[in-house]
Amino acid sequence: MREREGVIEFICEGGIGATATVRVELRTEFPGIGGTIITHEGVASAFREEFNPSPKSAHRLFLRHTIVKKLEDYFFRKDVYMFAHIPRPLGSISKDGEKPSEAYIYEWAFGSESFPWEYVDLEGNRTLIKLHDWDNFITHFHHAGIDLQMDTSDPDDGRISKNIIHPYPQPIANGTEISSLWKRIDFGYESMKIDFDKLSQFLHDKREDLERVLRTERYEMILLAKEYLAKGKEMKEVDIGRLDSLAGEYRRSSLRHHVSRGSGIDGPEQVYIATRTESLM
């Protein structure tokens, strides 16, 4: 049987930073850990490619993003806040050889960054602006050892935001707050720190509740992803293989849920698993 082909349509350049470039694509093909996934419906995606790739760095970025996303799912279902602020991680590519390439793919966040953190009225009075949900968001991730407040202001002008995307960044509530439609992006090493000891303690202390809210398999995936990021290839081969499998199943489930919302098609027909695979080994 002929393998189904995916579609990748370039939309526009999405931005360029110190360590990577991002382009916006409409994709039905998502390579990544656990296998390439072909979807029935296209997904607006960010394709982030590193300038100076190191082996498996894209997979590690995918796992960092995945840990954050699954912890947000936990906080969201516990009613910490009512609107998701982390885009979905969708896949990753790791190629070595003469032309190495490291890139990972995530759900494109529509909107813009670089909105002001303060409001100046007609009399010149300055008022700090808050994002709705922001305090709960950063506080709960801090308890899990993840610093998502890091790198959210322009280094040249701290009054301007960075790595926060908002489609309508107009102040509400008398100019002191911006609505909760924002998304936090960039989970690289220069934009987000993970305290692995603190994360390990959080996962230990919250194990029963995390397994109940997220399912045992998702908890195991978070745990193994944390171990891989902390230890790399020092992990047992069987545990890396298990993480490959769990990450692949998570990606299939996530993409199936994402594309089923607007296509009118539900069930396994939404995604097709191609034979091409990416591995953490």
Q: In this structure, are 178 and 195 located in the same domain?
A: no
Q: Give the residue from 184, 217, 239 where a domain finishes.
A: 184
Average pLDDT of the chain?
A: 90
The pLDDT, as a whole number, for residue 270 is: 64
Q: Where are the beta strands (DSSP E) in 132-242?
A: 146-147, 153-154, 157-161, 164-165, 177-178, 183-184, 193-194
Q: Is residue 230 part of a domain?
A: yes
| Cα torsion angle, 24, 26, 29, 33, sign | positive
Q: In this structure, are 237 and 161 located in the same domain?
A: no
Q: Give the residue from 184, 205, 239 where a domain finishes.
A: 184
Instruction: Give the count of domains, the chain.
Output: 2
144: CB partners within 8 A, 6+ apart: 71, 198, 199, 202
Q: In this structure, are 103 and 217 located in the same domain?
A: yes
For the chain, how many residues are written? 281
pLDDT tens digits, one per residue of 177-189: 899 999 999 999 9
The pLDDT, as a whole number, for residue 6 is: 87
Provide the residue range defining the domain that includes 179.
Answer: 118-184
Q: In this structure, are 19 and 101 located in the same domain?
A: yes
Q: Is residue 220 part of a domain?
A: yes
Q: In this structure, are 156 and 34 located in the same domain?
A: no
pLDDT tens digits, one per residue of 272-281: 666 566 778 6
Q: In this structure, are 89 and 211 located in the same domain?
A: yes
DSSP string across 73-125: HHHHHTTS-SS--SPPEEEEEEE-SSS-EEEEEEEPPPSB---BSEEE-TT--
Confidence of residue 264 (pLDDT cuts 50, 70, 90): very low
The pLDDT, as a whole number, for residue 265 is: 43
**Between 225 and 100, whose confidence is greater?**
225
